[in-house]
Structure formats: structure tokens, C-alpha cells
A and B are shown apart, each in its own frame.
Chain A
Amino acid sequence: MAVSRQVHPLDKYVRVDRLPHLWCPGCGIGIVMSAMLRAIGRRISEGLVREENIVIVGGIGCTARMSLYLNFDTVHAIHGRAIPFAVGVKLANPKLKVIVVGGDGDIAGIGGNHLMHAARRNMDITVIMVNNMVYAMTGGQLAPTTPTGLYTTTTPRGNPEKPINVVKLVASLGANYVARASVTHPALIETYVYRALGKEGFTFVEVLSTCPEMFGRHIGIKDAVQLFMELRGKVKVKAKPSLNESYYDWESGFVIGEYVDKDDPGYLRMIGLLR
């Protein structure tokens, strides 16, 4: 049976024949994807990047699944390894604009070592990490970003661990651009991604997101709107926060904004591939 659907302005960047997507109702990833596509669309329409030169690399997880739906050269790589894949792409063909999309588990958990070293090298790629604070695709297990004390399927007595502050980690390693955004403020996601894509060196955008099914459910907030409002209440916007304000804690909330914005030479320039 033929299904008629209206044309969306971002359809040209989406493999619409693959819709509907697999994300749950109330998931924040769609907000990130559309904000990212608007940012990419702006850069294309302003003549700053060519559509055929965009490569989207995802590992494994809900966020990495974006790679299935986006109408560019895309990669659904293996768990945790999107960043090294992207590094190989960029070094083999520097004219490509390489964007890694991944969740907190993919990027900061299993892929944490690669994140650290790509940031340290100031490698010329953009990483967009959607942080829903949980392993969602596998059913709600503990993530390295799960705040202390919260319940997951593998911490039934509450998370005894301290979460990783990815913004602070990446900033400490010398990346050129580090921002934290939130699905509660989509316009800022677009702004940060747009800026990240325009810079040399390693650029990183963390996006705090909501996962009512696998995160909210276990902390007693399984209603999508309620979880969204809860996160919105915890998010404070600041244009240029200091790294001391990057604290990562469920109780005290989260400061979003552009933490690092500098212009050190990127890896390609250091090896003479960019002049």
C-alpha cells in the first residue's frame, strides 16, 4: 500500500525510503539529527562545503543509527570505532568533511581511548556525542555517563560510580572546539554544530538527551514530556562558560554553552597536508 507523506525541508538529506526510523517515542536523537542537518544545510547553501564531500560515521548504538537514515556517504561501523574510522577517512582524503555521530557509550565508553587521542592530536574531524546517560539500544544498562546514584538495569542498588565529564576531558586534551548542548535547546545544537563544522582541528559537541524508555523508566520518570521538562529544569545556558562550570551531576544540573573555542593548528596542518 502506498503511503503518502508530506515533503519536509530536510528530506533531501534523508534516505526517506528507510523511514520510519527505529527511535522510541520521546527519544531526543531526532531533535539532534534535525538540528545537525539544518547546520549542515546552512554550510552547504553558503557554499562552505559540498554535499558530496560530507561523510557521516557512526559506531553502534541508537545515535549511530543516524548513519542509516542520512543521505550522504555514511558508515555504520563497529562499536566504539567510529572515530578511528573517521581518522582514516580524513587522512586519506583531506577534502572530505568527516562527522562522527555516536552515543555516550559508543564515544566515551568503549571508544573513550580513541576520543582521547583524536582530541589530543587535534584531528580534523567533528564528533557529535548524544548523551542519554544510559546504554539504550541494549536495554538500559549503566553508562560511563550515568550520574551517581541513579538506577539502571545493571545498577539495581544505584550507580556507585562517578560519571565521566566528557566536556572537561576533551577540553583538557587540547581540542579546538568543545561545546555542550541539550535537546531542550535545539537552536543551540544547530549553532554549535554549525560552528564546529567550520573549524580546523578536533571539534566536539556533547548533546544532553532524553531516553524515557531506557533511562527515565528506571529513575521513575518514564513519561517523555516529564523527562524532557526535568532535563530542561536542570539545564542552564551560558554563552562562554568556564571549564569549572562544566560539572556533570544530576542534582546540580548542567551548564550548556561553548566551553572551548580556539584556533590551534589541526593535525593536517601539522603534517603539511593543509596550508
Chain B
Amino acid sequence: MRVEYVTSNIAIAEGAMASGLRFFAGYPITPTSDILEYLAEELPKRGGVVIQLEDEIASINAVIGASWAGAKAMTATSGPGYSLMVEALSFAIITETPLVVVYVMRAGPSTGVPTRSCQYDVFQVRYGSHGNYELPVLVPWSAQEAFDLTVKAFNVSEMLRVPTVILSDAMLAHTWEKVIIRNPSELEIVNRRKPEVPPQEYMPFKPGEDLVPPMACFGDGYKVMVESLTHDERGYYSPTTEVQERMIRRLVEKVRRNSHLIVDYETYFTSSAEYMFFAYGSTARSVYALVRELRREGIRAGLYRPKTLWPFDEGGLKKVASKAKRVFVVENNVGLMYKEVARVLRDKEVISVGIIDLDVPSPDRIKEVISEWL
């Protein structure tokens, strides 16, 4: 364990290496490039490979290939790059390939303001690919949590054989903070389950009780079929409703049924909160400051901060919000996660506080908007 003064981007790179990262492919993009640069320096020292490829499409496809060759693999990008990656992400989902994508949000649409922050892509990250699927998305609010959640992202990805995304933003990316960087021996590290049967009995997509199939990799002698078409347990293409339904339901259910291994949240003063704030990522930092300010003024405010956006933790939210009179959903967009919160807390008054700010919405600005509701 060591303590360093780093940005979230570097904390993510360190978290990935602590998790056993062996392959990284990426393409330069603001505000993410320094993850690629930092790993290009550091990862080869630990026996891993880093390559800058011709685009984001190549990067994620190489990461999928590397994962099937047995390596823990990652790529990092921002909105425009993620838009290019979503086709292959869908391929990773149907082939149940463990991998981690780092998505550092920057203000869009299109080229937008590449160097500045936003939270516009909370739906795109989850729903950007074609097909019907679940995709875990973890959302840190500090450099320390960027490290911790990167370790978790690898664990979730390996455990459930599902691509997993760390959703950061431009503000966190380059904010320097103190981070405790733990060694692998001080962390709980999960590795994908290997088959326990001989090759002739192995089926690459036959799940265990947790709905996750053990994974044989290339060179293990199992002659796996990695199939982008709808496939049965052997990996054989099968265009029938029966196989399609079985496959889709399992791909979705393996995440939903194991969601307790993924979802997490943190609360401040919520047990006695009349006004509950829902905020995530960098915006939650301002909301936290505001909640403390309101408390000092005698207003019973509290904060519910999800560390994971997807799958959406309905149970956790319902439980924490049960006593709140009014719920404010504060985010740096025009009100996106608000839709989920309002759906889950449909018997409560849920107010969308969507603020567009190229930095983080300040506590004062948020207070100005909500004051009429207090």
C-alpha cells in the first residue's frame, strides 16, 4: 500500500494494474488520453502490453480478443469514442467477454467541449448498443473511489463474464487528490472461472448455477467457438425463438440475479432527512457540500449517492427514500437519471434539478434552483 497524489485517470490506471491488467488498447481522446499514456509507461514494466491502435473500434475489438486469449483487458475513451465502440460492446455482451471500459464523459453532443465536464451520457453508456442486455456501470465521485471501483469493475466483469464500464467525467479526470493505492495482495481480486470438465464435455456457453458459464480461453485446448450470432450452449448458431429467448433471458438474468454483487451506494444524513438529494459522480460533491450547509441552517436534508448507476438499484433507493418528503435529483444534464428515480419512487414528489454547467454545478447554483421547494 502506498499513498499518492493523483488524478482519477491515474487512479483508474493504478486500479486496473492492481486488478491484474495485462492488455490495454486505446486511441487518444480528451479527457482520457493520459490513461493510455500512463499505462504505456507503467504496464510493460509489469509484463503487460499497451498498444495505441488506429481507432476506438480497433481498440475495443483488440481488448475482446485479448480477453479470450486469457488476459484481463481494458480500454478507455470518452463520448465520441464510446459511440464508435458500442457495436463491439454488443459483441462482448453476446460472447460474454470479461473486459473493462473506462468512459470519461465530456460535454457533447458531437465534438462539444472536449475539455469540459458533463453527465449527459448516463443513458448512452447503458443503452448505446443494439440488442437487449444488462451492462454494469460504476460511477466514482473521487480519485480514491475511481481506484476502488476499477478494482470492483474487473471483479464484476470476471465474475459475471460481462463487460463493465467505469463512468467518470472530465472534472474528476484531472482533479488531483490523495489516493491510497493498495497492492494486489491487499485486495480481493476475482478471476474468471475455468472449466472443470475435459474438452470433449465442455460447452463454452453452458452456465453454472450462477448463470455464468466457466470460460476456457484460446490455447487451453478446448476449441471454443466465440460466436457473434445467436448461439446455443455449444456456441453454435441457432436462429430459433427458443434459443434466442433462452440466451437473451440468461444474459439479462445473470446480471439481474447477481446485482447484489454489483450495486452499492452511500448515504449522508438520510435517516432523518425530509429532503433527500439523489446525486452521483462529480455533481454529488457539490450536493454533499449543499446538504451540509442546509443542515447547518436547520433544514433536514440528506444525500443518497449511488456508486453504481446500472443496474439501477431500485431496492436501495426505495429503502433509503422511504421517509423523505421530497426528493431532488441533481445532475449535470437536463434530467436523465431523474426518469429512473421518478419511476421507482412513483408515490413520492420527485423533482428534477438538471443543471448544465461545463464544470460541476456549484452548491450555490443548486441551492438557487431548489430553494423554492424547501
Contacts and interface: CB of A to CB of B under 8 A. Distances in A.
A77 B62 contact: no
A18 interface: yes
Interface residues of B, number: 41
Given A89-B65, A89-B218, A77 B91 contact: yes
B161 interface: no
Contacts of A114: 54, 58
A38 B68 CA distance: 26
Contact of A84 (B61, B226, B228): B61
B49 interface: yes
Interface string B65-103: 111111101000000000000011001000000000000
A53 to B, nearest CB: 6
Contacts of A55: 69, 218-219
B203 to A, nearest CB: 13
B222 A73 contact: yes
Contacts, number: 127
A64 B25 CA distance: 24
A148 interface: no
A175 interface: no
A23 interface: no
Contacts of A92: 22-23, 49, 65-67, 69-71, 73
Interface residues of A, number: 37
Interface in B190-239: 218-229, 236-237
A78 B87 contact: yes
Best-buried of B44, B49, B222 by chain A (most CB within 10 Å): B49
A78 B44 CA distance: 29
A99 to B, nearest CB: 12
B64 interface: yes
Contact of B25 (A68, A83, A88): A88
Contacts of A95: 219
Contacts of A60: 228
Interface in A112-127: 113-114, 116-117
Contact of B23 (A73, A76, A88): A88
B157 to A, nearest CB: 15
Interface string A235-251: 00000000000000000
B195 to A, nearest CB: 13
A93 interface: yes
A104 to B, nearest CB: 19
Interface in A50-73: 52-53, 55, 57, 60, 67-68, 71-73
A81 interface: yes
A88 B70 contact: no
Contacts of B62: 84-85, 87-88, 91
B45 to A, nearest CB: 12
B4 interface: no
Interface in B272-309: none
A75 interface: yes
A53 B219 contact: yes
B187 interface: no
Nearest to B237: A68
A120 to B, nearest CB: 9
B159 interface: no
B348 to A, nearest CB: 43
A230 to B, nearest CB: 33
Given A74-B223, A74-B225, A78-B87, 17 more contacts: A52-B219, A67-B225, A68-B236, A73-B68, A76-B227, A76-B229, A78-B91, A85-B65, A87-B53, A87-B62, A91-B23, A92-B22, A92-B66, A92-B67, A92-B70, A92-B71, A96-B69
27 contacts: A53-B219, A67-B225, A68-B227, A68-B236, A73-B219, A73-B223, A74-B223, A76-B225, A77-B61, A84-B58, A84-B62, A85-B62, A85-B64, A88-B64, A91-B49, A92-B22, A92-B65, A92-B66, A92-B69, A92-B70, A93-B71, A93-B219, A96-B69, A113-B55, A113-B58, A114-B58, A271-B44
